[in-house]
Amino acid sequence: MEARMAEVDEDRALVERVQAGESRAFDLLVRKYQHRVLGLIGRMINDWAEAQDVAQEVFLRAYRSINAFRGDSSFYTWLYRIAVNTSKNHLVSNGRRPSTTDVETVETEHWSGAERMQEHATPEHELLRQEMERSVVSTVEALPEEIRLALTLREVDGLSYEEIAQVMDCPIGTVRSRIFRGRDAVDRNLKELMP
């Protein structure tokens, strides 16, 4: 928790420097968050080159509106909100729906039953692991967009419920409900695979 507070304070100091006219401080924020933002966008937009273009647009929008940042939320949450909205706008302007979400094998540690996946490196266990990964990915892909986004922001990006509520512009209770429904869907599919 202390590390998280230190990060928020560091970001706030960098934002204040940018607001005071020191554009190089924004470069530090870009370097710090570019991979996370690109990862988020990449889960919404399947085309990598397109995702990179949208990421550039996100940072451009953030820079242009940095003086409007009041610090009501963390910079990270504010930036993620811009990334989600910019990605959605990009998809809508191109006549597309938001794409599916990838959940990598490493991320399955957040799901119940993951401990058993790492018990043994036998071919049978590897086959089960692959089947479970496919199950998680297909289950997450089939979720409604708002549930998929809430679950991804929590399990993949590690945002708090409060940060997700700010990013998605909805009450915390709604966030909790969406994450519960997403986890429940994944759990039900994984239980079917467990011996």
**Average of per-residue pLDDT across 126-144:** 79
pLDDT range class, residue 23, cuts 50, 70, 90: confident
Domains observed in the chain:
2-93 (1.10.1740.10), 105-193 (1.10.10.10)
DSSP 3-state percent helix, strand, coil across the chain (nearest 5): 75, 0, 25
For residue 113, give the nearest of 190, 36, 22 by alpha carbon.
Answer: 190
| Higher per-residue confidence, 31 vs 130 | 31
Task: Report which secondary-structure segment, H or E, holds 175.
Answer: helix 172-193
Look at residue 122 in the predicted model and tell me its pLDDT: 66
Look at residue 103 in the predicted model and tell me its pLDDT: 34
With 0.75 as the threshold, say if the pTM is over it: no
pLDDT range class, residue 109, cuts 50, 70, 90: very low
| E-strand stretches of 12-165 | none
| Higher per-residue confidence, 129 vs 17 | 17
